[in-house]
Chains A and B, each alone.
Chain A
């Protein structure tokens, strides 16, 4: 059996450090998500408005977020603002800002899609039964929108967790950075550590994202 370099994990507090790194990654993504969801609902509702100006602004916002690599946004916020505005943002705060900016746009687009995908006929058949506008939203439109939205937004959570691996580029010590540090420190004593440590990182990302992804699949099936 080749040496997989797993023994490094048992040295000192290495395993605890990796888990703490995962904690940082999850913290960034969950805080960003907490900002993105309400902001995204607002953006999404704005996107369904007919007002041309609102439409143009939200459209631009969405396109910018889609076109720009997240890494560039991270550099822009972390390094760019320091010189230009003299802000001294921490890496983690910069990450939260960028991820929220990104998440709100993606979430907004999901909300827009969910709202507009309810066919006009659903409103009409509710009206034909004598439901008032508020009853129609309460019993017909909202339940359908939420059902379409929840699986999609859960997928956004997993994408966000995965993308946190970029924040090591602005000096945030998250799981991947911790892994690199451990490998570097043990380069001489266990040269095979890269495999064992990165395998562990992979498994931890998997453990964090897989249940979420399963939940999304389950809800999608149940509510189809």
Chain B
């Protein structure tokens, strides 16, 4: 078995008196692709935000390569550099062009040379088919293009794990594909990833393991074929049924 990259133990997250995540434990090994699915409001996004210490946690532990991730960690910036996160709404920096968006953190945070960062950024951009947009500003790009830039921006930091938070939810349908293809490509290269998504076909294709989250607990966990074809829990069956459509015939 390959090395454990991320270990979550008994994670509890509360907002005021509402418990959003109750006792979540999860181990992610190197090269593994975990897809988290579940109904809206089940805590999927919150889970990702906790892993990146964007949320304070009320119980449990999150360990990245053995070192604790929490808002109190003194080396929080260092830990976050190892975790790449891509948001639903892209969140590029509007005052910087594509290239500067990508190399800002490598040069200012990791203190790499501008030249070296630029070479890598351009190589990554060309891999996602956006080389000619290097000098464009975010406002000149389509949603799908922005999201691919956001993925490159995260990759350029050489993270040990990538988190994708419903990255296609804000996109027009015809742009979903171009973004998901990039993520599939990363999976093919053996990137360790946790992906929150509502695209079930994609989840099935990309996942090594599917986590079904409901009401703040992991209700079911398994290989994609097993989860999508033979869900064990009633709750998961019900959830998966919402993605299938049947025309009901009524005979008079």
Which residues of A come within 8 Å of B, CB atoms? Answer: 121-122, 124-132, 135, 139-140, 143-144, 147, 223-224
- B109 cross-chain contacts in A, Cβ below 8 A: 129-132, 135
Beyond A129-B105, A130-B109, 8 extra complex contacts between A and B, CB < 8 Å: A128-B85, A129-B81, A130-B77, A130-B78, A135-B108, A139-B104, A139-B108, A144-B93
Contacting A at CB under 8 A, from B89-140, are: 89, 91, 93-95, 104-105, 108-110, 139
If A135-B108, A135-B109, A224-B139 touch, does A124 touch B81 (CB 8 Å cutoff)? no
- B54 cross-chain contacts in A, Cβ below 8 A: 124, 127-128
Q: Which of A130, A135, A140, A147 has the most CB of B within 10 A?
A: A130
Q: How far is the CB of A213 from the nearest CB of chain B, in Å?
A: 23
The CA-CA distance from A132 to B83 in the complex, in Å, is: 15
Which residues of B come within 8 Å of A, CB atoms? Answer: 52, 54, 77-78, 80-81, 83-85, 87, 89, 91, 93-95, 104-105, 108-110, 139, 153-154, 157
- B89 cross-chain contacts in A, Cβ below 8 A: 121
The 9 closest A-B pairs by CB, nearest first: A125-B91, A130-B81, A129-B105, A128-B85, A130-B80, A130-B109, A130-B77, A121-B91, A143-B95
Question: Are A129 and B94 neighbours in the complex by a CB distance under 8 Å?
Answer: no
Q: How far is the CB of B109 from the nearest CB of chain A, in Å?
A: 5
If A130-B80, A130-B157, A224-B139 touch, does A125 touch B87 (CB 8 Å cutoff)? yes
Interface pairs (29), CB distance under 8 Å: A121-B87, A121-B91, A122-B91, A124-B87, A124-B91, A126-B93, A127-B54, A128-B52, A128-B54, A128-B80, A128-B83, A128-B85, A128-B87, A129-B80, A129-B81, A129-B105, A130-B78, A130-B80, A130-B81, A130-B109, A130-B157, A131-B109, A132-B109, A135-B108, A140-B93, A144-B93, A144-B94, A223-B95, A224-B139
* CB nearest neighbor in B for A140: B93
The CA-CA distance from A71 to B91 in the complex, in Å, is: 46
Question: Are A144 and B95 neighbours in the complex by a CB distance under 8 Å?
Answer: yes
* CB nearest neighbor in B for A133: B77
Question: Are B105 and A147 neighbours in the complex by a CB distance under 8 Å?
Answer: no
Q: How far is the CB of A114 from the nearest CB of chain B, in Å?
A: 13
Question: Are A147 and B95 neighbours in the complex by a CB distance under 8 Å?
Answer: yes
The CA-CA distance from A124 to B110 in the complex, in Å, is: 18
The CA-CA distance from A126 to B101 in the complex, in Å, is: 10
- B91 cross-chain contacts in A, Cβ below 8 A: 121-122, 124-125
* CB nearest neighbor in A for B153: A129
* CB nearest neighbor in A for B105: A129
Q: How far is the CB of A152 from the nearest CB of chain B, in Å?
A: 16
* CB nearest neighbor in A for B137: A224
* CB nearest neighbor in B for A132: B77
The CA-CA distance from A131 to B96 in the complex, in Å, is: 16
